[in-house]
Amino acid sequence: MYISLVALKATDSYEQHQAIWSLFPDTHERKRDHLFRIESNNSGQLVALLQSATEPKSSVQAEVLQSKTYKPTLSVGEYYKFKLVANPTKRLSKERNVIEIKEEADQIQWLQRKLAGANVTVTAIESALVSSKKSYKSRFINFEGILQITDAEQMYRAMVMGVGRKKHAGAGLLSLAKTG
């Protein structure tokens, strides 16, 4: 796995999605094996954190600023700082419609369900609307906090596969850093 910082030439989430895909020109099946999140937007330049199974290559739409191999090891009982930008949603059983979860307490419950392999304490939560040319605005939630691993395999899967919906638009990347 690779972890990279990438500068994107994009104005909305759809263009970000296209720019990220341009970093993997040799992906024939077009199967997504990467997750990203926008880390900063300074003077119109977007910088994204990218986690991928293959090494990204700079393109016209995106420049790889830094890249290194990444092999996370998770230990049961250990504490980690976490950061996750996600799109908390729920499916209404009868209508099968998917709706965004808007209440903060419900968003935290959603996160705790999604990260069932850990005891999760949210220390900061921030909401932002993200626009796209291809769809309506989506509510992305930036979760930060501390978690204690109770099931290392399940948490590793969450890191690799991502959490929640809208992964194509920059949501779902779970970052962990060991505390202490």
Tens digits of per-residue pLDDT, 73-96? Answer: 999 999 999 999 999 998 887 777
When pLDDT is cut at 50, 70 and 90, the band that residue 179 belongs to is confident
Query: What one-letter code names the amino acid at 67?
Result: S
Residues 30 and 7 in one domain: yes
Q: What is the pLDDT of residue 30?
A: 65
CATH number at residue 12: 3.30.70.1200
Q: What is the dihedral of CA 4, 137, 129, 99, to 10 degrees?
A: -100
Q: What is the pLDDT of residue 171?
A: 92
What is the number of domains present in the chain? 2
Residues 159 and 111 in one domain: yes
Q: What is the pLDDT of residue 40?
A: 80
Residues 141 and 63 in one domain: no
- Model pLDDT for residues 99-157, shown as the tens digit of each residue: 889 999 999 999 999 999 899 999 988 888 776 665 667 788 999 999 999 999 999 99
Over 70: is that where the pLDDT of 6 sits? yes
Percentage of the chain beyond pLDDT 90 is 59
Domain-located, residue 74: no
Over 80: is that where the pLDDT of 63 sits? yes
Could you tell me the residue range of the domain that residue 123 belongs to? 79-178
Residues 37 and 56 in one domain: yes
pLDDT mean across residues, the chain:
88
Mean pLDDT of 21-28: 83
| End position of a domain, from candidates 69, 92, 113 | 69
Percentage of the chain beyond pLDDT 70 is 93
Please state whether the predicted TM-score (pTM) of the whole model is above 0.85. Answer: yes
Q: What is the largest CA-CA distance in the chain?
A: 47
State the Cα–Cα distance between residues 60 and 84, nearest whole angstrom: 28
Residues 116 and 160 in one domain: yes
The DSSP bridge pattern shows strands 89-91 and 98-100 to be antiparallel
Q: What is the pLDDT of residue 45?
A: 77
- Taking a C-beta distance cutoff of 8 angstroms, is the pair 176, 49 a contact? no
